[in-house]
Amino acid sequence: MKLRIGILALQGDFAAHARTLSGCGVETLEVRRVAQLEGLDGLIIPGGESTTLLNLMRDEPWFEALKRFHADGGALFGTCAGAILLSNEVVDRDQSSLGLIETSIERNAYGRQIDSFEAGLECPEAGADRSDPLKVVFIRAPRFRRVGARVDLLAHWEDDPVLVRQGRVLAATFHPEITGDDRLHRYFVEQVVAEAGGRLPQRTEVRVPITSAGSPTQTEAHATAVEPSRSTPQGENAPC
């Protein structure tokens, strides 16, 4: 039984995430309606425009549904606009967000498109070190301005945290999905979704780590966040 990862497809680079996940041994699904969250193990909120996503999310009770998805044990990964939506505060703007990770985030904090840049990041959890950095791009990227005590910092660019995790929620201010480097998606699937995921009947199948990068303290720290009640595979074969 493969893990089922949804990609929020209201707007943004959802297709790039699907391509990147294609080598990760999971089933992917484009999610445009709330009902499609049923039976997913994880959800990616892609890059795009956060104002557009918020606008489209007014049509259905998305906020309630996504908070419930998280509370019920679903794992989430947001990149760029996705990280903005997951944060608990958007700095200097009257913009709502889900508040699923204790971060304050500033939109377009590096400038306009002309200031967008490619970079290589060290991220031991994803098996990326100085000699083989994670290839990422920052496009009109946001910046985490404050990070709560319960948030783990997994990667930095210059002095800023750019990849953070709090339990089942992973958030990146950059795009790992358009460079062909799928190590961070593997980390999400193998370390975040699988750790959280009691929704899986045969979890061991997908828990084989590709890299030996995940530090034991990391794993322990997040083990406490896993709720026991999620072994019921309810809604697993729900039609979409």
Partner 1 sequence: MEEQKGTLRLKTGLAEMLKGGVIMDVVDADQAKIAEDAGAVAVMALERVPADIRRDGGVARMSDPKMIQGIIDSVSIPVMAKCRIGHFAEAQVLQSMGIDFIDESEVLTPADEEYHVDKFAFDAPFVCGCRNLGEALRRIGEGAALLRTKGEAGSGNIVEAVRHMREVQTGIRRLTVLSPEELMTEAKNLGAPYDLVRLVAESGKLPVPNFAAGGVAIPADAALMMQLGAEAVFVGSGIFKSGDPKKRAHAIVRATTHFNDPKMVAEVSSGLGAAMSGIETSKLPESELMQTRGW
| Residues marked as catalytic | 80, 175, 177
Take residue 158 and report the two structure tokens written for it.
């210059």
Residue 169 forms beta bridges with which residues? 76, 166
In the complex, least distance from residue 130 CB atom to partner 1, rounded to whole angstroms: 9
114/208 with CB nearer partner 1:
114
Sheet strands side by side (includes 75-79): 27-31, 4-8, 42-45, 75-79, 169-172, 160-166, 152-157
Distance CA 176, CA 120 (A): 10
Contact 27, 5 (CB under 8 A): yes
108/215 with CB nearer partner 1:
108
Take residue 209 and report the two structure tokens written for it.
């780590």
Contact 159, 173 (CB under 8 A): no
137/225 with CB nearer partner 1:
137
Q: Could you give the 3-state DSSP secondary structure of residue 15? A: helix
37/194 with CB nearer partner 1:
37
69/157 with CB nearer partner 1:
157
Take residue 186 and report the two structure tokens written for it.
């593997």
In the complex, least distance from residue 55 CB atom to partner 1, rounded to whole angstroms: 4
In the complex, least distance from residue 232 CB atom to partner 1, rounded to whole angstroms: 30
Take residue 127 and report the two structure tokens written for it.
């098996």
- Can you say whether residue 173 is alpha, beta or left, with left for phi > 0 and alpha for psi between -120 and 50 degrees? alpha
In the complex, least distance from residue 113 CB atom to partner 1, rounded to whole angstroms: 4
In the complex, least distance from residue 233 CB atom to partner 1, rounded to whole angstroms: 28
Chain positions contacting partner 1, by CB under 8 A? 9-16, 32, 47-49, 51-52, 55-56, 59, 80-81, 93, 107-108, 111-120, 133, 137, 139-140, 175, 178-179
Residue 148 half-sphere exposure toward CB, CA atoms < 13 A:
14
Q: Could you give the 3-state DSSP secondary structure of residue 188? A: helix
